[in-house]
Amino acid sequence: MIQDPTLLATTLDAEFAEMSPLDRLKTLREKVKGRIVFTTSLGLEDQMLTHLIFGNDIKIDVVTLDTGRLFPESYDVWRRTEEKYGKRIHAKYPQAEALETLVDDQGIDGFYYAKEFRLACCGVRKIEPLGRALDGAAAWVTGLRGDQSQNRLSMPFASYETQKKLIKANPLLDLSREKIAHFCDDHGVPVNALHDKGFLSIGCAPCTRAIQPGEPERAGRWWWEDDVKRECGLHLPDRTMVSEGAGI
């Protein structure tokens, strides 16, 4: 019988509400026929998911997008994670020619000067590599939490992405940061050293700062922009990504 991915996503979304994150991952792997990819930013939430996947030998590919502008601490936790679990976190890099053209056009840090420059940089360093990471995949796992931002609050546990033609699953959607931090501490999960320095959401080094007391969790991402719904484009609805130019 041919799977109807839209119907399957709806079914998973309903079932996930009563499951633990581990059971969500196991159910996803059981019900989805085909390759499943988890893309990790090497942050706290993603480290919990990596632990669950590697520690329970769930057949899900773990991939990171190495933009070339990551913090040294991110590479450190990448190495420590591979050492702990004895498994590889696979990398996707920007296309060399596209990256050279980007820097020639807008300068090495052109993203500070205009939002369209920043979106173009995210497009070359993140969006295009993500497309290659998900090529041929039947499902995509993310570490999104609903309380991270207003945009993410309305996301479901599972949905069918029409442009990417795959199921997107968010196994940690209803968990708090505190609960995830306790889990990582209790299970000895390697975590990024930047979290203890006020970096709650970690991306590229030039585009991330520590947050100040009272600021929301993602205030340190692209802080020079006025838009409160700042995203790189990886997790925006398909139509939004196109209209904002984030799908370059």
Q: Where are the domains of the chain?
A: 5-195
Return the CATH number of 5-195, one of 3.30.410.40, 3.40.50.620, 3.90.1150.10, 3.40.50.2300.
3.40.50.620
Torsion of CA 119, 124, 130, 132, to 10 degrees: 150
DSSP at 194: G
- CA distances 22 to 7, 53, 139, Å, are 22, 8, 16
Helix (H, G, I), strand (E, B) or coil at 202: coil
DSSP run (H or E) holding 14: helix 5-16
Contact 49, 171 (CB under 8 A): yes
Torsion of CA 121, 126, 127, 128, to 10 degrees: 90
Contact 141, 60 (CB under 8 A): yes
| Known binding positions | 121-122, 204, 207
| Known binding positions for [4Fe-4S] cluster | 121-122, 204, 207
* pLDDT score for 45: 97
Q: Which residues of the chain have pLDDT under 50?
A: 1, 230-233, 235-236, 238-248
DSSP run (H or E) holding 49: helix 44-55
Per residue, what are the HEC states of 109-133? CHHHCCHHHHHHHHHHHHHHHHHHH
Encode 170-180: b = buried (16+ Cβ within 10 Å), e = exposed: bbbbebebeeb
In the beta sheet, which residues pair with residue 167? Answer: 139, 160
* pLDDT score for 2: 53
Rounded CA gap, 201 and 221, in Å? 7
Catalytic center residues: 232
* pLDDT score for 202: 94
Which candidate, 42, 98, 37, places its Cα nearest to that of 66? 42
Which candidate, 246, 51, 220, 48, places its Cα nearest to that of 130? 246
* pLDDT score for 21: 98
